[in-house]
Structure 1
Amino acid sequence: MSSTSLDDRLWDDVVLAFPILGELPITHESAPIDPDQWRSLVYALQKNEMCHFIEDLIIEKIEESLRNKVAKEFWREIESESCVDGFDRFKKAVMGLARNYVTFLPYIEKLEAMRNLLNSKRKIHGMFDLMSLLKILIRSTLHSQLPVPKHLSVVEDFYKLSFKVFYYSDKTDRELNESGEDLQCGGCSESAENCKCDEIITDFHNINRILIQLELLERLAGEVLTSLIHEQIESHVQETCKGSFDISFIEPLEKWLDSVVVGWLTRLYSSGPECPVTQEKLNTFNRKLHHLLYETYTRTRIDQLFTIIIEYPDSDAAIDDLKVCLEKTDLRPFLTAKLTAALQSRLLHPGVNTPDIITAYIASIRALRHLDPTGILLETCTKPVRQYLRGREDTMRCVVMSLTDEGPGDLVDELVHGEESNQENPLNWEQWNPDPIDASDAKENKERQSWDIISMLVNVYGSKEIFVHEYRNLLADRLLVQYSYNTEKEVRYLELLKLRFGDSQLHYCEVMLKDVYDSKRLNTHLHSEPNFGLKLQEFEVTCMILSAQFWPVFKEEKLELPQKIKEHLDVYTKAYETIKGNRTLSWKPHLGSVNLDIELKGRTVNLTVTPTHAAIIWYFQEKDQWTIDELSSVLHIPPTVLRRRIAYWQSQGLLKEVSTDTFLLVEESSGRSAKNIAVNDMMCEDDETESIMASAQDQREEELQVFWSYIVGMLTNLESLPPDRIHMMLKMFASQGPSAVECSLQQLKHFLDRKVREHKLLFSGGFYRLPK
């Protein structure tokens, strides 16, 4: 027998054992071979050193078949338009892949048997296990021919429908039984009679079993499964807790996740053979899904956090949930950025009133203290709010008004029941935790722990002195606008503020209240003694005597009172000097109130007005008609101010303008009803409720007036100077000493521009000079 004929017979035996090497199609099954014949064949191949050649050749044939037939058929079925339903397209593609996979198994098994018989340890494509190699070849070939991600929609259709069927599997029967009607199935969307849910579940298990066996599940469907689960969790969270902040949702959401989502995944993975790897994957999925749930719920609550803060404490359940979830996620920086942006866009613009901003700020303090007791979130997120409030002129006044029961918020109770600012809380070392990574240094941390709501509001300006100064102005307004000697409520507030800010800070306010009490006692004494002559006067004069150095600066307004009024005031002054000896009174004629009975033809009008209004109408009893210039000369009031004051009497129907700047007393009734008079009275009184204290800007300009003589001297000697040069020279010569007034360049420019408007300076080409 020649060697050539021996090789031919051997090759025929090999083709008989492995038809894939012949001309027969790959699906042809080889005939059974006797075990003795199989061993003889293997040893013959070994003797001729053909074993490795046959192994490589069979693997190459399998790869060729995978490339040219199996993969093309799989993706052709996925992209087929003949079947519109994505569920069926994916099912057919996977079932075809499984059939092809089965045809390769006999060849792999015979190769493994040959290797075992020869005890071969040779690696093929770097692997010993040929069954694992076959699965790798299938996966790599499929992915090498992966089309445009159009297939994802088909895979998504398959798993969406299966999830929907699983979700509604228990509901359909119950609804049908309760109603007795042929309802539409919530899972497959067919009628209850033609329900295909059982078929879908069977197909679902079969397809997943194949994918798990080929280790293709996560490679083909992993992205789709993740996206689908994320979508379902996000949708359920939104539907469950939308707009509801007074109930905790963590436990119900966890139960839903375990029963629905994890239950569905368990069914999905249980479709394959049971093994430790499968259970380990389920446990890993379970942990990841719970983290995804916490993250989704946390992001949802962070998006709603501004509303949650505004509704606090009714929303404390949502704050508790968010506190728990922040410990399980890393979304603290996201919360900080999101809330800071929300506060800026919702609050920090001119369209929002200062009281509303303060109310929201107070709610933020309370809610964020609950969420983060360390105060880090509060300090970081509300920093822009504090900076913005610092730039609003009426911020501190609104805070003070809220503390005295006349403004926004509920700060009066905080003042009454809140902790004192200097109270220290004992630290339990067993409950101590380090600050988060975004915390500042230890000193600021200690300050944060001692901050309460009132302290934080006061610290918006960074100084208790500014708060006390504003409170003193407000107290003066309340005492002098109402002209009431009843100070019980003010004393109560002052005592509460002294507990928080100390006696020394509020000493001036104590003196102010004492002045009111002393004035009441003095007036009673002067009017009860006949020797002082006050009882003999035509009208009663009472006075509020103020200690000038303890009260804020008043708005200055010129007013020359009628002679008879001044005579009455002189009598009061002499009576005061009789009691006090070396003291006298310096009257503020534009401050106070006057109760008038105005007798006209057939009617009497009773009004309480300011001294300026009373002086105006007083002169109309001397003659019926006055011009603005005439009244201005006798009252010493600027015409512009005088015209505004006369408007009040016009609204009351007592004066009318007969010609330009000429006014006539109207004694005849205009026919207005008492109701209309009352309305106009209220409107005019509201117009006059501006503060009688000098504004901070007025006081600042008064302080800057000390520089004027220096500026005149500079410009007299040097003719013209730019503002920065004037500022530098003032700092050198006029801003020295313990009582020196500080002045920024911007403040100096405002002061110089005011002098230009008053025609006391000229400005040209960036230089100021004196007018010639």
Structure 2
Amino acid sequence: MATPAVQSFVEEKWQEAFKNLNRGEPGISGLMTISEAWRIASDFLRPRPLSEPRPRYNAHEIKAAFDMLAHTKLLYTVLENFLDDMHQQEYLIKQEVGEYMSRYEETDDPQVIAELVYRLVDWFNAWHPLAEYEFSSLPSIWRADDQNELSTSLGHIVTDHFTVAFHTHIYSILPPSFSRGFKALVSSTLPISYDDMSDSPSPDTFVWDSFFALGLVERYESLIASVCYEHIEDYIREVCAGQWSERMLADVRLWMDSRMLPWMRLPYARGAKDLNEATKMMSGVKSRFDYHICKVLCDLRTSEIFDIIIDFPDSKPALEDLKECLHRVDQRSILVASLRKANKKRLLHPGADTKDILAQYVSIIKCLRVIDPPGVLLYKVADPIRRYLRDRPDTIRCIVSDLVGDSENGTSLVDDNDPLVPLASRDVEDYTDSTWEPEPIDAGPDFRTNKPGDIISTLVSIYESKDLFVKELQVLLAQRLLNVKDGNYEKERRNIEILKVRFGEAALQVCEVMLRDMTDSRRTDQHVQSQKPSLLHPVIISRHFWPTLQTGTFILPQRLRAIQEDYSREYTAFKPDKKLVWLSHMGSVKIEVELQDRTLEVDVPPVSAAMVELFSERDRWSVDELIAQMGRIDRPSVMKGLLVLVDLGILKEEETDHYKLLEVAEEASADPGASRSAAMDELPGVQTAQQQQAEQMRVFWRFIEGMLTNLGALPLDRIQNMLKFAPGYDRNIEQLGMFMEAARREGMVVAKDGMWRLNR
């Protein structure tokens, strides 16, 4: 039981509330007025099925009802009831959404999603409190003012709450598959053709108005952006893939401005009054999509970079596009990683020829200088290539052959238009230079000392010293000089002058001595021939200035030895202080072979000439018998000499390692003379620089063997320090390591945990 005081307080408050609701009217007439206002407002706001038309209302009556509810603070209560009614009627929309989505999942047709969106807009308009058709019965003279007044009184209260509530209900109804269908619908509104950029089709504004009405643009903003991104990616792959002979970035941006921007105004510049206002509204969006253009094109060119380099210089426009994209998109590290991976897979493997690797390396140098003139990218990409080339035994020879114009395939690593400059030296930075710039931020700590110079300097810098190149130059020049038949040495003389510019005068002094020996040899031969004509025309060289010639002496037949001895006597008479040492395995002999049905005049190696002499004595010989007759000669040399005579049709192999003389010619083989040409075209047997180093290292093997015998297992640096006391030892630890590895392969030593010991 409440106390009298509480009862009195409650009664007082009741009377106060009643007077407030009754508005001071007599009896309960005020309550009846509020009840009628409640009925009118609730019925006006009640959500109905689309099949049930909304009744017509007088604007004055509706305005008065809402004003009374607002005055009595019951407006929010009416609104809450309205939102509850919406929730109860939600099943009507849910049924239709289920039907449309079932159709879409069966057909995957985005037009079904469009129909669903239009249907949801119909529901939105049907339930909207201030739909325009509600007041169509108002007189035209004052309808607009009254409607605006009503919209003003209800807009911020009812309309906003309705819109948020309706969107919330819709989002809770839509299944997950709707986002896929919505994306397909948005994609269907994009410009279709990639080629025609003349006139853009008129965008479908009605569907975008529907999107905005349902709040789908804000909800699926990232999805709409992804549609644009994917469309840009498809266009760039379709138009730019494999197109390297012209710049494509400007064309893609033109396509973006003419085809995509009119469409992008719908989601990103809604409400813009003119083009200028739309451009300002889309400035940030356009910058974002331009960034994506650069990124996609950069990704495409990065994936094609190996083939772009192969196609250089025709692909230079693609490299310029890539350079511009890299300024906008920081993907330099990705480019380096991609090119290094492609090089490892397609270039740096045993199946690739050294000449091809060098040609690709030169193209990489030229291409990366277009993309990154400071050379940071080149420094990072070239390191694995340089290490791989350093381990290949014929790298130096390939570079040197190209320097003297002796390339086998007719191509050159160096452009003939490039200026001749000395090998680049490691200069100290000149910080007083007004054009000096700091190193790029991604340059490594050793970048400054490894800046790329011209192409030749870069290739020579693969090795720590240019001495190896100079020695290989001497070897190659010796081979070329000994291979000259007509006495014209102008090409070699020109090569020496060119190489002087690059390697210096001192490095080419030995080469000048070799060239002088060739001209002196011709004059000496002319003098000897004038004293006593001879069939022999030898090349006389200075032993101390020429590279070591490969050994392979053998015993010539008596008639050939007699010609040599006669020539030696005449030479000694001309130069009493010198003596000739014959290298009988080198050179060529012009012989005339008389057989029963034919006579042949051919140039053959001395080994083959000696065999012809032996077969003139006996028709059949075995390989072992020939070796025994010819003295100090290895089996491969004998087989090579026999092969020349077999190709000429002079000899025939009866059975394995047994040959007979063909007095009567037999039917020629399918490819006669191929092996003979290969044998005759070989360069004279001069030891390469690597072979000379290997021979010199074998001299020091006795010292190494003594160390390992007396001291046991030793690390490589200890062996290197002790070898420095050996006379004439000038190798570095890397060269020693290569020699020890070769000895290990031959089974002479064993390596374990960095310690070397003899293999006993």
Q: Would you say same fold, with TM above 0.5? A: yes
Structure 2 SS opposite 1:382: helix
Residues 682, 63 of structure 1: CA spacing in aligned structure 2 closer, same or farther, 3 A cutoff? same
Partner of 1:180: none
The DSSP-based 3-state class of the residue aligned with 1:656 is strand
Question: Paired residue for 2:481?
Answer: 479
Residue 665 (str. 1) matches residue 661 (str. 2): yes
- Counting only pairs closer than 5 Å after superposition, residues 292-441 of structure 1 correspond to structure 2 as 292-407=292-407, 409-411=411-413, 413-414=415-416, 417-422=419-424, 434-441=438-445
> How far apart are residue 576 of structure 1 and its match?
2.6
Structure 1 segment 93-132 matched on structure 2, within 5 A: 93-102=120-129, 113=153
Q: Measured at CA, do residues 55 and 638 of structure 1 come closer, stay the same or move farther in structure 2, by a change above 3 Å?
A: same
Are 2:640 and 1:649 equivalent residues in the alignment?
no
When residues 400 and 110 of structure 1 are mapped into structure 2, their CA distance, relative to the original with a 3 A threshold, is same
- The 1:732/1:412 distance shift into structure 2, 3 A limit, reads closer
Q: Distance in 1 between matches of 2:271 and 2:193?
A: 18
Match status 1:149 vs 2:176: yes
Distance 1:329 1:697, change over 3 A: closer
Counterpart secondary structure, 1:439: coil
Q: Which residue, out of 93, 98, 104, partners 1:73?
A: 93
Contact 1:108/1:130 (8 A) holds in 2? no
Q: 1:548 aligns with which of 532, 543, 561?
A: 543
SS in 2 for 1:597: strand
Secondary structure of the structure 2 residue equivalent to 1:554: coil
In structure 1, what is the Cα distance between the partners aligned to 2:204 and 2:373?
50
Q: What residue number does 1:125 align with?
A: none
Shift of 1:374: 0.9
Report the equivalent of 1:681.
Answer: 673
Change in CA separation of 1:13 and 1:649 when aligned onto 2, cut-off 3 Å: farther
The farther-off stretch of 60-69 and 616-625 is: 60-69
Q: 1:129 to 1:578 in 2, by over 3 A?
A: farther
Distance in 2 of aligned mates of 1:92 and 1:576: 114
Q: Cα distance, 1:34 vs. partner?
A: 8.6
Name the residue aligned to 2:190: 163
Q: Describe the SS at the equivalent of 2:659.
A: strand
8 Å Cα contact 1:162/1:204 also seen in 2: no
CA deviations 1:695-748 (Å, max 9, x no partner) are 556434433433454577679x87xx97x4597986576552452265746633
AA aligned opposite 1:663: Y
1:623-772 alignment, distance < 5 Å:
623-636=618-631, 637-639=633-635, 641-658=637-654, 661-670=657-666, 672=668, 679-687=671-679, 689=682, 692-695=685-688, 698-707=691-700, 709-710=702-703, 724-725=713-714, 735-737=724-726, 739-740=728-729, 742=731, 744=736, 747-748=739-740, 750-751=742-743, 754=746, 768-769=759-760
Q: Which amino acid aligns with 2:440?
A: P
Q: Report 1:217-232 matches (<5 A).
A: 217-220=217-220, 222-232=221-231
Structure 1 partner of 2:245: 246
Kindly provide the CA deviation profile for residues 455-499 of structure 1, in whole angstroms up to 9, marking residues without a partner as x. Answer: 112222343222222222222222224455321111111211110
For 1:505, which of 507, 528, 537 is the aligned residue? Answer: 507
- CA spacing shift, 1:232–1:595, aligned 2, 3 Å: same
* Contact map agreement 2:240 2:248 (CA 8 A) in 1: yes
- Compared with structure 1, are the counterparts of its residues 131 and 300 closer, same or farther at alpha carbon in structure 2 (3 Å cutoff)? same
**1:435 & 1:136 partners in 2: Cα distance?**
57
CA distance, structure 2, for counterparts of residue 600 and residue 372 of structure 1: 70
Structure 2 SS opposite 1:374: coil
- Is the CA contact 1:704–1:751 (under 8 Å) kept in the aligned structure 2? no
CA separation of 1:65 and 1:419: change in aligned 2, threshold 3 A: farther
The CA distance in 1 between the partners of 2:31 and 2:307, in whole Å, is 82
Q: 1:91 is matched by which residue type in structure 2? A: Y
Q: Contact 2:69/2:75 (CA < 8 Å) preserved in 1?
A: no
Partner of 1:206: 209
Against the structure 1 CA distance between its residues 671 and 162, is the aligned structure 2 distance closer, same or farther, given a 3 Å change threshold?
A: closer
Task: Please give the per-residue CA displacement for 1:221-272, whole angstroms capped at 9, x wherever unaligned.
Answer: x233212212221222223223222222223222211111111112445654
How far apart, in 1, do the equivalents of 2:716 and 2:333 lie?
45
Aligned partner of residue 101 in structure 2, secondary structure: coil
Letter in 2 for 1:25: R
Amino acid at match of 1:251: A
**Conservation of the 8 A alpha-carbon contact between 2:586 and 2:684:** no
Normalised by the length of structure 1, the TM-score is 0.78
Contact 2:525/2:538, CA 8 A, preserved across alignment: yes
CA displacement at 1:91 relative to structure 2: 2.5
Residue 739 to residue 137, structure 1, CA distance change in 2 (3 Å): farther
Aligned partners of 1:419 and 1:75: how far apart in 2? Answer: 83
Are 2:521 and 2:540, in contact at CA under 8 Å, matched by a contact in 1? yes
- Secondary structure of the structure 1 residue equivalent to 2:297: helix
Describe the shift of the 1:252–1:40 C-alpha distance in structure 2 as closer, same or farther (beyond 3 A).
closer
Question: How far apart in 1 are the matches of 2:744 and 2:250?
Answer: 68
Rounded to whole Å, the distance in 2 between the matches of 1:607 and 1:231 is 72
Aligned residues: 696
Q: SS of the counterpart of 2:594?
A: strand
Q: Secondary structure at the match of 1:663?
A: strand
- The answer to whether the Cα contact below 8 Å between 1:483 and 1:592 also exists between their aligned partners in 2 is no
Q: 1:657 to 1:151 in 2, by over 3 A?
A: closer
Deviation string, structure 1 residues 52-106 (Cα, Å, up to 9, x no partner): xx46645644554565545982795275335762222222224423443446999
The aligned counterpart of 1:521 is 523
Equivalent residue number for residue 571 of structure 1: 566
What's the offset of the Cα at 1:523?
A: 1.2
Residue type of the alignment partner of 1:740: Y
State the alpha-carbon separation in 1 of the partners of residues 357 and 173 from structure 2: 57
Query: Which TM-score applies when normalising by structure 2?
Result: 0.79
Counterpart amino acid of 1:649? Answer: L
Distance 1:59 1:491 in 2: 104
User: Structure 1 residue 324: deviation in Å?
Assistant: 1.9
1:163 is paired with a residue whose SS is: coil
Q: Could you say what secondary structure the match of 1:477 adopts?
A: helix
Whether the 8 Å CA contact 2:291–2:328 is kept in 1: the answer is yes
Judge conservation of contact 2:553–2:583 (CA < 8 Å) in 1: no
| Counterpart secondary structure, 2:602 | strand
Deviation at 1:568, TM superposition (A): 2.4
Which has the higher relative contact order, 1 or 2, with Cα contacts under 8 A spaced 6 or more apart?
2
Partner of 2:3: none
Residue in structure 2 matched with residue 467 of structure 1 by the alignment: 469
Please state how far the C-alpha of 1:339 moved relative to its aligned partner. Answer: 2.2
Tell which deviates more after alignment, 281-290 or 57-66: 57-66
Aligned-partner Cα distance in 1 for 2:634–2:320: 63
SS at match of 2:601: strand
* Residue identity in the other structure for 2:206: D
Query: Residue in 1 aligned with 2:555?
Result: 560
Report the CA distance between 1:326 and its aligned residue. Answer: 1.8
Q: Secondary structure at the match of 2:687?
A: coil
Q: For the structure 1 residues 141 and 484, does the alpha-carbon distance in structure 2 shift closer, same or farther, using more than 3 Å as the test?
A: farther
Q: Is the 8 A contact 1:245 1:314 kept in 2?
A: yes
Q: Which runs of 5+ in 2 are unaligned?
A: 1-13, 23-27, 49-53, 135-146, 750-756
Q: Does 1:258 align with 2:257?
A: yes
Secondary structure of 1:680's aligned partner: coil
What residue number does 1:583 align with? 578
Q: Deviations over 1:112-166 (max 9, x none)?
A: 8599xxxxxxxxxxxx9886666555555555x2655311222123323322489
Cα 1:148–1:38 change in 2 (3 A) is: closer
